[in-house]
Amino acid sequence: MDLEGQDLVDVWNTAVRQLSADVPSAAQLTWMAETHPIGLSDGVCVLSAPHEFAREQLRRKFQDKISGALSDAVGSPVTLVITVRPDTAEPTSTSDPAPFVEEPDDVRMAPPTPRVDSSVPGNVHPLPTSNLSDKYVFERFVIGPGNRFAHAAAFAVAEAPAKAYNPLFIYGGSGLGKTHLLQAVGHYAGRLYPRSKITYVTSEQFTSEFIEGVRSGHQASFQRRYRDVDILLIDDIQFLEKAERTQEEFFHTFNALHHAEKQIVLTSDRPPRALERLEDRLRTRFEMGLLTDVQPPDLETRQAILRRKAELEEVDVPAGVLELIASRISTNIRELEGALIRVIAAASLSKQPVSMALAETALKDIFPAATLGEITADVIMDETAKYFGFSTDELCSATRTRSLVTARQVAMYLTRELTELSLPKIGEQYGGRDHTTVIHANKKIQKLIRERPALFEQIQELTGHIKARSRG
Ligand SMILES: Nc1ncnc2c1ncn2[C@@H]1O[C@H](COP(=O)(O)OP(=O)(O)OP(=O)(O)O)[C@@H](O)[C@H]1O
């Protein structure tokens, strides 16, 4: 049954009436009132929540009840897809003005906006490329000896999906551009083939959606979502090693897509043969197409990446400073970019041009000392909590006072910069938050350290504490 317009609103209102006895707080009632149905097609209802926090709450606490109430209202099973309206304001927090943050936005990054395509019954899928980062396009990717082949393969796949190499499997160490290439395929193919359905997902998201589908008995809509695409981009496939049942499901998804000549692109931190806990049949399928690795960039490429980044930031950075940063950080491009951002922040705060002296000072805390041991997420959490006067439990809690939100965002930012943990893993570390929350925290702090001298100083000092504790 497909519903739209007033019919859909009537069904939704009936469901909400049925639910209101179970909604205890005024805040929850407000989110509920601000949540609207977008479409109901082939047993899948797409809801639009006012913000990410509401979406999470609705998903965690009310998903089953809402599905049940909607199923009752239409007389057949209904699966829910909850999205967040882009560009809506964050919920406001109630107390504690923070010293340097205006708004307590723990989360803000629009997830893919599913649409109900009425021309294809039952098709609920993300708009092409809607959950891709704008930054991760081919135009911003600097080519060097370590990534030339991977770049060429990704480019070829975007130009001729399912014709060039299928699957394309890109592997390599942390922060070397795998996600960037994967999403660039999505952007470019989306431009060349605007009608194609392109889905980007991390294997962790795929796993949790699958589990959710099983739990709620709605596997069919999950399967439809992933089998009805033209290009499937799956990031960090190594996490499937830990999820046996999802491996089975992914095997069928893979076969269905491959058989239908749809393109699959995968990234991993290791080549398929090193994914030891992966079923053989999946490993062999991953090896069926083209395998390509990304290697750490050489000095020249590192400088070129920094030059490009400085141009994009519209900041004049002398060649000597680029060389200084590039010569000290060699294995992770994320860290390389992080160092440049701090130098630019230091210059902008002190209202000086970027110079060697300024760069040396700004970077003294973050260049790894020779004897530095591994920096762990636990140490970062512990030091950040201490620094801002909170407990680690508070950092992981749902409390959203301004100062706590900032401390939490700083902790996530430093974990992203100083460890190799994936975005979902960092989210997990901080009370099971969504990976989009971590992306948001990272962006937010990158922006704030340029605007607020106090926060910049605090983060420099805190990084020093973390590094000191991690010295071997
Ligand atoms: N060749 C490149 N040119 C420009 N920027 C790059 C390049 N390679 C990586 N980057 C940038 O470095 C950062 C880290 O890259 P990315 O997230 O793609 O790494 P990854 O290999 O997927 O890491 P992880 O395995 O930790 O997820 C991103 O901001 C990306 O834009």
Question: Separation of 269 CA from ligand 1 center, angstroms?
Answer: 13
The DSSP secondary structure of 19-30, one letter per residue, reads HGGG--SHHHHH
Q: Given the structure tokens 């210059």, which residue do they identify?
A: 347
Distance of CA 332 from the midpoint of ligand 1 (Å):
8
Average pLDDT score over the chain: 82
Structure ipTM: 0.99
Domain 299-364 has CATH 1.10.8.60: yes
Contact 269 CB / ligand 1 (< 6 Å): yes
The annotation status of 436 as a binding-site residue, yes or no, is no
3-class SS letters over 251-283: HHHHHHHHHCCCEEEEEECCCHHHCCCCCHHHH
Q: How far is CA 174 from the centre of its chain?
A: 15
- What is the phi/psi pair of residue 46, to 5°? -100, 120
Top CATH class of 377-470 equals mainly alpha
E strands, 72-158, are 79-84, 114-117, 123-126
Establish whether residue 174 lines the binding site of ligand 1, counting it when its CB lies within 6 angstroms of any ligand atom: yes
User: In this structure, are residues 87 and 442 in contact, taking their beta carbons and an 8 Å threshold?
Assistant: no
Q: Identify which has the larger pLDDT, 89 or 422.
A: 422
Element (H, E) at 55: helix 52-57
For the cut 70, the answer to whether the pLDDT of residue 261 exceeds it is yes
Tokens of 420: 């190799």
Give, for ligand 1, the residue of 234, 334, 417 to mutate: max count of ligand atoms closer than 8 Å to Cβ: 334
276: left (phi over 0), alpha (psi -120 to 50) or beta: alpha
- Give yes or no for residue 470 having a pLDDT over 90: no
Which CATH number among 3.30.300.180, 3.30.428.10, 3.40.640.10, 3.40.50.1400 corresponds to the domain 5-84? Answer: 3.30.300.180
d(CA 374, CA 419): 8
Which residues make Cβ contacts (< 8 Å) with residue 391, sequence separation at least 6?
385
- 423 CB near ligand 1 (under 6 Å): no
Domain with CATH 1.10.8.60 in the chain: 299-364
pLDDT exceeds cutoff 60 at 339: yes
94 pLDDT higher than 70: no
**Which pLDDT score, from 0 to 100, does residue 60 have?**
75
Atom of ligand 1 nearest to the CA of 183: 18
- Asked if residue 240 lies in contact with residue 247, where contact means CB atoms within 8 angstroms, the answer is yes
Which of 2-6, 294-298, 351-355 has the weakest average pLDDT?
2-6
**Ligand 1 close to Cβ of residue 179 (< 6 A):** yes
Give start-end residues of each CATH 3.40.50.300 domain in the chain. Answer: 138-293
Look at residue 37 and give its three-state secondary structure.
strand
265 or 51, which is more confident: 265
pLDDT tops 50 at residue 238: yes
Q: pLDDT tens, 270-316?
A: 999 999 999 999 999 999 999 999 999 999 999 999 999 999 999 99
Q: Is residue 95 over pLDDT 50?
A: no
C-beta of 223 in contact with ligand 1 (< 6 A): no
pLDDT score of 29 more than 90: no
Query: Is 179 assigned to a binding site?
Result: yes
Residue range(s) occupied by CATH 1.10.1750.10 in the chain: 377-470
What CATH fold (topology level) applies to the domain 138-293? Answer: Rossmann fold (3.40.50)
Which residues belong to CATH 3.30.300.180 in the chain? 5-84
Query: What's the confidence (pLDDT) of residue 333?
Result: 94
Global confidence as pTM: 0.66
- Taking residue 347's Cβ as centre, other Cβ atoms within 10 Å add up to 21
- Give the pLDDT confidence score for residue 257 in this predicted structure: 96
Q: Residue 66 has which token pair?
A: 């809402």
In a 13 Å sphere around the CA of 239, the CA atoms on its Cβ side amount to 18
262 annotated ligand binder: no
Characterize the bridge pairing of strands 263-268 and 231-235. Answer: parallel
Residue 261 buriedness (CB in 10 A; 0-12 / 13-18 / 19+):
exposed
Is any atom of ligand 1 closer than 6 Å to the C-beta of 293?
Answer: no
Distance 343 CA to ligand 1 centre (A): 19
Q: Is the CB of 292 under 6 A from ligand 1?
A: no
Compute the average pLDDT of residues 3-14: 75
178 assigned to a ligand binding site:
yes
Say if residue 24's pLDDT is above 80.
Answer: no
Q: Are 470 and 375 in contact (CB under 8 A)?
A: yes
Q: Whose CA is nearest to atom 18 of ligand 1?
A: 177
Q: What is the pLDDT of residues 438-453, one digit of tens each?
A: 999 999 998 898 888 8
Give the rounded distance of the alpha carbon of 423 from its chain centre: 6
Whether 56 contacts 436, CB under 8 Å: no
**Cα 443 to averaged position of ligand 1 atoms, centre (Å):** 15
Tokens 């937010």 sit on residue: 444
430/353 Cα distance (integer angstroms): 37
Higher pLDDT, 363 or 3: 363
* Cα-based distances in Å from 121 to 10, 39, 42, 226: 21, 12, 6, 15
Answer whether 235 contacts ligand 1 (Cβ < 6 A).
no
| Percentage of the chain modeled with pLDDT above 90 | 49
Provide DSSP, 383-435.
HHHHHHT--HHHHHSS---HHHHHHHHHHHHHHHHHS---HHHHHHHTTS--H
The 10 Å Cβ neighbour count of residue 318 is: 14
* Of the listed ranges 15-19, 169-173, 411-415, 458-462, the one predicted with least confidence: 15-19
Q: Is pLDDT of 379 > 90?
A: yes
Tell me the pLDDT tens digit for each residue of 128-183. Answer: 456 899 999 999 999 999 999 999 999 999 999 998 789 999 999 999 999 999 99
Task: Give the mean model confidence (pLDDT) for residues 78-92.
Answer: 54
User: Which residue minimizes the CA distance to atom 31 of ligand 1?
Assistant: 180
User: What pLDDT digit, counting tens, does each position of 55-71 carry?
Assistant: 777 877 788 888 888 88
Polymer length in residues for the chain: 472
